[in-house]
Amino acid sequence: MDQATRNYLTVTGGYWAFTLTDGAIRMLVVLYFHLLGYSPLEVAMLFLFYEFFGVVTNLVGGWLGARIGLNRTMHMGMGLQVAALSMLAVPDAWLSVPYVMAAQALSGIAKDLNKMSAKASVKALVSQDGEGKLFKWVAVLTGSKNALKGGGFFLGAALLQWIGFRGALLALAGMLLVVLAVTAWLLPRDVGRMKTKPKFSQVFSKVAAINWLSAARFFLFGSRDVWFVVGLPVFLYDVLGWDFMRVGGFLALWVIGYGLVQASAPRLLRHGHPGGATARLWVVALLFLPLGMALALHQGWPAQWVVIVGLALFGIVFAVNSAVHSYLILAYSSHDKVAMNVGFYYMANAGGRLAGTVLSGWTYQQWGLEGCLWWSALFVALAALLSLALPEVRTTD
């Protein structure tokens, strides 16, 4: 096994472990605080700083990774996640809204440092293998991460039921601390570091393709989180009467399936690498799914089957959209500036998640799951309009 492959596998393994904790903590917070009597909007607000600081972190993190190396920013993310998990493992009397929001802020910083570092590292580690190979490797990394995040949803719900909220948090913190030590030992020090120290002003991309892609990414991920983050789990628990294990298991299976489709995107698309036309085709296909689900619920179709079937189809098409975007940001970036470009792009991603998360709680409280789906359709339509400007990929750097 060559050094690049070994480094790629180490980055992927660390990303997997972190992702398990990220999925688990989200499910733990949603279910536990709903159980404590928080309204859907109040639960959504607990994630406000998680998403807001994700925006800030991606902007600063790409610049920081280019200056000190992506391995260091990845391990900073892991350490902050251990701190966030430990902060929540306190008595209920301490768990005020500001305190939980602060812990979630740390978790949001941790998640986006880790994600930005892992994604940008792929370009640095496999760039010599060509665009087709790059598409496959980034699809596997992203898809496997999302499959593991689904596992984290189930793990969080299962641990909540088996060993309680605090026991679950401490177990996750201990596991991640071990992984941090192992990956810090195995990875080289200077992955992704630029030869010259970049100025902070350089994080704002001057490449039009990256700016259009980032704007489309904002609305693409907002379209998912506007109904998935708060509205869907609360709907399953309150309206359909599912218990914690069933809610966590169902959402876990969805995210695992979504991740597997994402990892398989290069085979599904059946060509070397996608471009702007591919992104436009798949985002238009996505538009019909939240529209169809909203209309079906409005017509009084059985809600359980609308959600199960619609969510499965949405997951498949959304996964391909996400895989194409994850490849395009690397393909549009030069090797020397990949960390900053990926940071800028994931800043937009985090902004979309922030908007979707807040809207998910507010919209569900006002109009239920149907209202969340109408907002989702609007966001997909805006992503489609922005994708009209995406160019094809040039095969030279």
- C-alpha separations of 253 from 151, 307, 372 in Å: 8, 14, 21
Q: Residue 397's pLDDT is what?
A: 41
**Model pLDDT, residue 233:** 86
Q: Which amino acid is at 158?
A: A
**Residue with the larger pLDDT of the pair 13 and 3:** 13
pLDDT in tens, 294-309: 999 999 999 999 999 9
Residue 26 in domain: yes
Distance, CA of 77 to CA of 58 (rounded, Å): 12
Buried b (16+ CB within 10 A) or exposed e, 295-320: ebbeeeeebeebbeebbeebbbbbbb
pLDDT tens-digit series, residues 277-335: 999 999 999 999 999 999 999 999 999 999 999 999 999 999 999 989 988 988 887 76
For residue 29, give both structure tokens.
């917070």
Does 396 reside within a domain?
A: no
Residue 363 lies in a domain: yes
- Asked whether residue 214 is assigned to any structural domain, the reply reads yes
Instruction: Give residue-wise pLDDT tens across range 183-240.
Output: 888 776 655 454 555 565 555 556 788 899 999 999 999 999 998 888 898 899 888 9
Q: Does residue 330 lie within any of the structural domains?
A: yes
Helices and strands counted in the chain (H then E): 14, 0
Task: Read off the amino acid at residue 141.
Answer: L
Confidence of residue 376 (pLDDT cuts 50, 70, 90): very high
Who wins on pLDDT, 60 or 196? 60
User: Would residue 395 count as lying in a domain?
Assistant: no
Of 251 and 61, more confident: 251
Cβ-proximal residues to 253 (8 Å cutoff; 6+ apart), any chain: 150, 154
pLDDT band at 95 (very low <50, low <70, confident <90, very high): confident
Residue 24 in any domain: the answer is yes
Q: How many residues does the chain have?
A: 397
Question: Which of residues 194 and 27 earns the better pLDDT score?
Answer: 27
For residues 160-172, average pLDDT:
90
Q: What total number of domains does the chain contain? A: 1
Tell whether 392 is covered by a domain: no
Select, from the ranges 140-144, 200-204, 349-353, 383-387, the one with the highest average predicted confidence (pLDDT): 383-387
- In 58-83, which positions are buried (b, 16+ CB within 10 angstroms) versus exposed (e)? bbbbbbbbbbbbbbbbbbbbbbbbbe
164-170 average pLDDT score: 91
Secondary structure (DSSP) of 199-246: -GGGGS---HHHHHHHHHHHHHHHHHHHHHTTHHHHHHHHTS---HHH
Contact 274, 173 (CB under 8 A): no
- Mean pLDDT, the chain, rounded, equals 83
Can you give the residue range of the structural domain that contains 35? Answer: 3-387
CA angle 53, 57, 59 (to 5 degrees): 120
CATH number of the domain that residue 380 is part of: 1.20.1250.20
Query: In this predicted structure, what is the pLDDT of residue 396?
Result: 45
pLDDT score recorded for residue 295: 96
